[in-house]
Amino acid sequence: ISTPLTSIPPSMPVPTILIICRMLLLLVMGLAWSFHGASCLPHPTGLTWAEEGAEGQCQCVPQLCPRATTSSAGLVCDHCGCCLECGNAEGQLCYLDGSGTFYGRCGENLECQLDIQEIGYGGIPEPQCVCRSQAAVCGSDHITYQNICKFQEAVREREGRNLSITSNRPCLAVPQIKHHTQDQVNVSGHDVIFMCEVFAYPMALVEWRKDEEEFALPGGDPHISIQFRGGPLRYELSNWLQIEGVRKADGGTYFCIAHNKLGNATAKATLLVATAPPALFSSPANPGEEAPIASKEEEDYSDYY
């Protein structure tokens, strides 16, 4: 292949010259195909993107492949192993056998998995693309990415900007309130729940306070309770403040305070306690007497609260 055509002896047979020219042509096509961005090899079965015959087999024609473009989940070989296509991101459906004939194939660092835990919740599990590593990483932009796949998505979305991994763990950060608790209006005697989701690394300590009071809730009050659990994402903590049988005195502003050694964050919400209309919630005057039928306005008021 490296022999210049000008140095070919005149006595060399014509078929030999044709063979050399053909090899040079194939070499040029191969270089052009590599520059095109493709790195797929023909599938052993002969299946190709270009055309599938009656028996599902045909010849791989790289020139007919669509030009490979950027994808948030990276480029992967199609189901015939001939062309590059966009890979499926986390949570997208896939085939466990890796064929990808309909849903496509999982992207870079992703694999098709079946979550059998859904069966316990009465659901029908479907194979989905899942990142092979669920360890969080810290980017050079000081943002914590839940896994390497999320980081690579950010790299592709920010094409042209230098983004690298600075640590194979979350970034050290002041607590962040991911889900702010909401103001509420409720009726005396009903239950109230405030929710607060916090992300932090190191993990944050979360407490609840009311108004300007110095002590943390529940403070020995039996009708107030605090519950918490990890999640929904890693390094997050979900907290609930529950008030059972809310009273007029429970009205006020509630604060969700999260803090670690780097700092703190606060979210607040106001509770307004309304008095229940007697006609809606009182018992009949006589035990044997039926309760009066509520009007349309009363029904709307009851549904609202």
Tell me how far apart the alpha carbons of residues 42 and 49 are, in angstroms, rounded to a whole number: 10
Residue 43, Cα to own-chain centre: how many angstroms?
32
Strand pairing partners for 93?
A: 128
CA angle (257 as vertex; 268, 253 as ends), nearest 5 = 30
Sole residue written with tokens 């797929």: 40
Predicted local confidence at residue 248, as pLDDT: 93
Tell me how far apart the alpha carbons of residues 152 and 158 are, in angstroms, rounded to a whole number: 10
Sign for the pseudo-dihedral over CA of 83, 87, 92, 93: positive
Is the distance from CB of 51 to CB of 132 less than 8 angstroms?
no
Residue ranges, the chain, pLDDT below 50? 1-8, 12, 22-23, 25-39, 42-55, 58, 281-282, 291-305
In this predicted model, what pLDDT tens digit does every residue of 64-80 receive, in sequence order? 888 777 788 888 887 77
Predicted local confidence at residue 249, as pLDDT: 93
Predicted local confidence at residue 137, as pLDDT: 94
Predicted local confidence at residue 180, as pLDDT: 84
Sheet containing strand 263-274, edge to edge, reads 184-187, 263-274, 252-260, 205-210
In this predicted model, what pLDDT tens digit does every residue of 184-193 receive, in sequence order? 999 999 999 9
How many Cβ atoms are within 10 Å of 74's Cβ, its own excluded? 21
In order, the DSSP letters of 205-266 are EEEEEETT-SSPSSTT-TTEEEEEEE-SSTTEEEEEEEESS--GGG-EEEEEEEEETTEEEE
Tell me how far apart the alpha carbons of residues 214 and 242 are, in angstroms, rounded to a whole number: 19
Going along the chain from its start, the domains and CATH numbers come out as: 137-171 (no CATH), 174-274 (2.60.40.10)
Predicted local confidence at residue 202, as pLDDT: 92
Predicted local confidence at residue 122, as pLDDT: 66
Predicted local confidence at residue 70, as pLDDT: 73
Sole residue written with tokens 């605090």: 226
Tell me how far apart the alpha carbons of residues 86 and 103 are, in angstroms, rounded to a whole number: 11
pTM, full prediction: 0.58
Is the distance from CB of 241 to CB of 228 less than 8 angstroms?
no
Run of H or E including 201 = strand 192-201
Is the distance from CB of 90 to CB of 84 less than 8 angstroms?
no
Provide the token pair at 90.
């986390």
